[in-house]
Structure 1
Amino acid sequence: MSNVNRIMVLNPYIATLGGGEKHMGYLCQFMEEYYDYKVDIDIVVFNYDDVDVFADSFVTIEDINRQFGLELKKTKIRKLDFKNPQNIVEVLMHRKKVEDVTAEYDVFINFMFMSKHKGKAKVNIYECMFPRPPFVPRKWWKRKAAFVERKHDNDFYNSYDCFLSNSEFTKEWAEKYWGTKVPNYVIYPPVFFEKEIKGKYQEEAKENIIISCGRFFVASHSKKQLEMVRFFVKHQEIFKNYQYHLVGAVFDDKKDLAYLKRIKRLAATVDNVFIHENCPYEELMQLYKKAKIFWHATGYGVLEEVEPQKMEHFGITTIEAMSNGAVPVVINKGGQRETVIDGVTGFTWDTEEECVEKTRRLIEDDNLRKDMAEKSAVRANEYSIEKFYERNRETFRMLHI
């Protein structure tokens, strides 16, 4: 299809401004360039839970550009004035209304985490952050209702021309859940341009800093900042000469704000833990440049085979850290196993004791840390924006759009 004029990107969660939103933003920027800016892209949002997309404080394209260093020109936010569903019937009606909106577009890209919305555009692409499992009826489900949900699952899957998974981990679970009938390609999320990666690691800028980056929230794949602060505070004899900096956006959600408050309360028991809420992009980059070590614990305390959706499905922040020579010490779960080569470009761990011990090795052996930092920076090139654009370009051409 040569005449693509309108593209819909479904992502009601853009206000979280996390790694997924960075991924989505660069996809939009790729599409603007790919279509020579002769295209209109709508990021479609709607109310959910306590989120009011019509509030004055709701995120804007300018916020997205500023947060991720983008220059979106042909992309705007389209707000659907739908009532927030209160029961299962309204949920199904709400879902159908969103699906009907997709029919207005030439291309529909479903970027909503664990969505089951069908695509009705001319070409439909499912950007799979992590797949929602197929419907399994409980005993109390009526036979007719169960039939309807199973049929919707089948129609949902078959409505897409392809799935684009953000990691081999995600692809594996998508195929476990849904099968292999619809093509499923892995396109890793974008991190930095290659020319930026080359100069990011500067050993002379390094300070005794451990950094973690991720949204402060409790739902789904929580970043487990509270647990990491506990690690750091509990083992002060090892970390007394280091600072721990936690960077992340926080949304106006009561549970998330309460979670952040607990983290701050624990952090306040020592003088070397620092919290950076809604940190500007440039400030984050400066912290990465100074940090020697990067911590990541998403999935800690969760059984991967039981709740795979609570793992880190890829981990953009890990690559951001690696490109800056901040050696990753990350949990041995989910997509982290693909990006960090244990003992080469960093360390993976399964327990608190392993995390602390491997971090201690890096603190005490500066030559080991420097060697891993150099190898991490080289490894980060595998996840460049250029490679992201190249793989998307190949996929769009394959789909004739």
Structure 2
Amino acid sequence: MISRTPKPLKIGMYSPYLSILGGGERYFLSIAEILSQKENVTIFFDKSISPKVKDTLGINLDKVSFESEKKISSSSAISKFKLLLKMDAFFYMTDGSVFLPGAKRNFLIIQSPGHMPGITISQTIKTAGWKVLCYSQFMKSILENRLKKPATILSPGIDTLVYHTTTKTKQPIILTVGRFFSYPHDKKQKILIETFKEHSLTLFKGWRLIVAGGLTEKSGEKVLEDLQECASGYPIDFKVNVSFLELIKIYKKSTIYWHAAGYGEDLYSHPERAEHFGITTLEAMAAGCVPVVYDGGGQRDIVENGVNGYLWREPLDLVKHTMHILDHEETYLSLVGNAFKKAEEYSQPNFYEKVVKLLHR
């Protein structure tokens, strides 16, 4: 008997945020890249973004088809429903809006509490046919509590092999990575700059702080200017809109990774101001940087305090943890080794397996 190759699935994908090309977009487009190896994947967005995605995020969309974004963003509910009826699966990264799903399998990706659909009768009916996906246990708990609907954790994956390095490549560099956004979505880079400045001539003498990130929105320009003014005269470098390959080089030569999203915020009342997952933290760990990150949000899914990095609540703790790493080589090497191991849990093969299982479950 002759076995037949299964017909490729027809998969549609849409996100209103693709022009930003941040962590959420990397997650979304990684799913597209993975599925396009065997399935017919269509993204509803301008195809001209594909080269930029490859340069900025290191994601290859050559096997992905593109159709007009307006077929989703500007069409009627009936038109969208009819379009989705032709598909085996549809992935939608919501901005808080939701529409009736028409595909055989429908996945609603909710990045943060701020992107959660409203809890109205109409929205509840529309949401009923979607399978909710999120990044972390942090998000899962919030979504299930508010939506009264199960949520599945599909954490981001990274190509750990491209980050791999040894401690011999490390330089006296502290790195932080995050887009330059205005409040309340900012990454709190200023507190990191101020903390580094305060100790730059003493505890951190001979060290540099690198502040890397994307600038994709007009409101971020003033944020960047203020940060650069704050850092003026100190060994603090800014790397703005660098390519994916350049960012990997920076990760590989950095020793410590700092992150502060969520600091100074009431995360109980405003959980959307915390880091929803922390993919840059994961990338840093894969590159052998020891993370010292704010104790809140999705960072807790990744960093186990004192095992593969440190969590901090106040700037004094940030400094103490950093100095403990620098002053104790045995501790440093143990943290680096455990950081590598943790990053491997989120490797690209593991992510691929989870995405495929999700699609065929």
Amino acid corresponding to residue 69 of structure 1 in structure 2: G
1:244 paired with 2:206, answer no
Q: 2:28 aligns with which of 24, 27, 38?
A: 24
The amino acid of 1:152's aligned partner reads: S
**1:298-317 to 2 correspondences below 5 Å:** 298-317=261-280
In structure 2, the partner of 1:234 is 198
Quote how far apart the aligned CAs of 1:120 are.
3.3
Is the 8 Å Cα contact of residues 110 and 132 (structure 2) preserved in structure 1? Answer: yes
Say yes or no: does 1:172 pair with 2:135: no
Displacement, 1:338?
Answer: 1.1
Deviations, residues 46-85 of structure 1 (Å, cap 9, x unaligned): xxxxxxxxxxxx9611110122222212325544459xxx
CA contact (8 A) 2:14 2:91 kept: yes
1:127-181 Cα distance to aligned partner (Å, 9 max, x none): 2222445647xxxxxxxxxxxxx22221232131x1122111111111011113x
* CA offsets 1:108-133 (integer angstroms, 9 cap, x no match): 21113444344333431112222445
2:136 and 2:154 in contact (8 A); partners too:
yes
- State whether residues 260 and 293 of structure 2, in contact with CA within 8 Å, keep that contact through their aligned partners in structure 1: yes
1:34 aligns with 2:41: no
Q: State the 1:221 CA deviation.
A: 3.5
For residues 79 and 188 of structure 2, the distance between their equivalents in structure 1, rounded to whole angstroms, comes to: 37
Given candidates 143, 147, 155, the residue that maps to 1:188 is 155
Residue 127 (structure 2) pairs with residue 157 (structure 1): yes
Aligned residue number for residue 262 of structure 1: 226
Secondary structure (helix, strand or coil) at the match of 2:103 reads coil
Q: What amino acid is aligned across from residue 38 of structure 2 in structure 1?
A: Y
User: Would you say the 8 A contact 2:13–2:90 is kept in 1?
Assistant: yes
Q: Any stretches of 5+ residues in structure 2 without a counterpart?
A: 1-5
2:320 aligns with: 357
Cα RMSD of the aligned pairs, angstroms, is 2.4
Residue 14 of structure 1 and its aligned partner are, at CA, apart by 1.5
User: Structure 1 residues 219, 388: closer, same or farther in 2, change over 3 A?
Assistant: farther
Pick aligned residue for 1:104 from 83, 86, 107: 83
Question: 1:147 aligns to what?
Answer: none
Q: For each residue in 1:365-395, what CA deviation from the matched residue of structure 2 results, as whole angstroms up to 9, or x when unmatched? A: 2332222111111111011111111111111
For 1:19-68, what per-residue CA distance to the aligned partner results, in whole angstroms no more than 9, with x for missing partners?
11111121001110132xxx1412348xxxxxxxxxxxx96111101222
Other-structure match for 1:64: 53
Residue matched to 1:116: 98
Name which of 294, 298, 322 aligns with 1:335. 298
Alignment-derived partner of residue 145 in structure 1? none
Letter in 1 for 2:42: I
Matched residue of 2:230: which SS? Answer: helix
Aligned partner letter, 2:176? S
Q: CA deviation at 1:351?
A: 0.8
In the TM superposition, what whole-angstrom CA distance separates every residue of 1:284-337 from its partner, at most 9, and x where no partner exists?
Answer: 111111111000111111111111111111111101000111000000000111
Bigger drift between 240-249 and 217-226 goes to 217-226
Q: Specify the SS of the correspondent of 1:185.
A: strand
What's the counterpart of residue 7 of structure 1? 11
Aligned residues: 351
Identity of aligned residues (%): 26
Once residues 314 and 221 of structure 1 are traced to their aligned partners in structure 2, the CA distance between those partners, rounded to angstroms, is 14
Asked if 1:209 corresponds to 2:159, the answer is no
134 and 102 in structure 1: CA distance in 2 versus 1, 3 angstrom threshold: closer
**TM norm structure 1:** 0.81
Change (3 A) 1:341 1:269: same
Aligned-pair CA distance for 1:95: 7.6
For residue 25 of structure 1, what is the amino acid of its counterpart?
Answer: L
Query: What TM-score do the two structures reach when normalised by structure 2?
Result: 0.89
CA distance in 2, matches of 1:388, 1:104: 28
Check if 1:345 corresponds to 2:308: yes
Query: How far apart in 2 are the matches of 1:394 and 1:370?
Result: 36
Instruction: Give 5+ residue unaligned stretches, structure 1.
Output: 46-57, 83-93, 137-149
Q: Contact 1:17/1:67 (CA < 8 Å) preserved in 2?
A: yes
